Structure 1
Amino acid sequence: MASSKKLSKAEYELLASFRFALRRFLRFSEDAAHGAGLTPQQNQALLAIKGFPGRDRVTIGELAERLQVAHHSAVGLVDRLAAEKLVAREPSEEDRRCVFIALTRHGEDVLEKLASAHRTQLRRIGPEILSLLGRLADGDE
């Protein structure tokens, strides 16, 4: 813990409001994923692959790190995504032991719809989240 100073009622209310705003967004994200026929974790995986810095493909280890899951959990997730033809495995040209995971055209299409909906939702609720975060960072009550 960074500080031993007790929090005021207003600080608890601010933290609770911030947590509630984040949870509302996460709930939106979960519902959107289910509406697209995906689990929330599958949606997160597609986004982690497409949004990986500097390239549009990842290794299993990189995906596991981005999702904060165990390596074997990432393997199972990729297996399920591949079965749905949302991702494909691509062997590395430099190191045949290394396999990259990339989105298929179908995966790109599904992610585009979901990401667009998420962007719209963030534009709707973003100002509230930013305000709460700013107040938390500034120590405002």
Structure 2
Amino acid sequence: MTASDPQAHDPLSKRRLKLWIRLLGVTRQAEGSLREFLRLRHETTLPRFDVMAALYRRRDGVTMSELSRMLLVSNGNATTVVDRLEKDGLVRRTQSETDRRTVFVALTPEGLASFETLATGHEAEVNQLFASLTESDLDTLTDIFKRMGSPK
């Protein structure tokens, strides 16, 4: 290491890198388990679940652009998932009365009921995935992640 190397001045650099790799591993493992759970138990996908969860939080509906921003995906990706959900009768699209280019999307009553079933199963699966964590562990991790997510 040279004097201009930032790691030379930070003895925790390697440990932080290892933590990042471990965090990615835990996230990927949990996400993989959830994908498999949704596929096998509910015959659905994680992207469908995510779209329905976003629409569940915004019951009055959102524009397709808002939905894409909420999910951090492209408009095309959101549209593909919404197309399938609409075909299955779980969401409905409504054109704006003031701007014909704007389309709102919302869960149908069937979509609401379906999501509530999915959400109950999803919560139980996440609970099982992290069952080895104590209340103290959860408090500590929550505090750490909040600090990490705070602006510097």
CA contact (8 A) 2:68 2:75 kept: yes
Aligned to 2:3: none
The alignment yields a C-alpha RMSD, in angstroms, of 3.0
Q: Secondary structure at the match of 2:105?
A: strand
Higher relative contact order (CA 8 A, sep 6+): 1
Question: 1:41 offset after TM fit, Å?
Answer: 0.8
Residue type at the aligned position of 1:37? E
Q: 1:62 aligns with which of 62, 66, 74?
A: 66
Aligned to 2:84: 80
Aligned to 1:26: 31
- Identity across aligned pairs (percent)? 29
* Match status 1:120 vs 2:113: no
Question: 1:61 offset after TM fit, Å?
Answer: 0.3
Aligned equivalents of 2:76, 2:14: Cα separation in 1: 43
Question: 1:18 offset after TM fit, Å?
Answer: 2.8
Listed one character per residue, the Cα deviations across residues 39-72 of structure 1 (whole Å, up to 9, x for unaligned) are 21111111111123xx441111011112222222
Aligned equivalents of 1:30, 1:73: Cα separation in 2: 17
Question: 1:101 offset after TM fit, Å?
Answer: 0.6
Residue type at the aligned position of 2:30? F
Over 3 Å counting, the alpha-carbon distance change for 1:73 and 1:14 in structure 2 is closer
Q: Secondary structure at the match of 1:88?
A: strand
Question: 1:119 offset after TM fit, Å?
Answer: 2.3
Which consecutive unaligned segments of at least 5 residues does structure 2 have? 1-5
Q: How does 1:1-141 map to 2 (within 5 A)?
A: 4=7, 5=10, 7=12, 10-34=15-39, 35-52=41-58, 55-124=59-128, 125=130, 131-132=140-141, 134=143
Report the number of matched residues.
134
Q: Secondary structure at the match of 1:89?
A: strand
Aligned equivalents of 1:20, 1:38: Cα separation in 2: 24
Aligned equivalents of 1:79, 1:20: Cα separation in 2: 32
Question: 1:6 offset after TM fit, Å?
Answer: 5.4
> TM-score when scaled to structure 2?
0.68
Aligned equivalents of 1:20, 1:122: Cα separation in 2: 16
Which consecutive unaligned segments of at least 5 residues does structure 1 have? none
CA contact (8 A) 1:92 1:99 kept: yes
> TM-score when scaled to structure 1?
0.72
Over 3 Å counting, the alpha-carbon distance change for 1:100 and 1:135 in structure 2 is closer
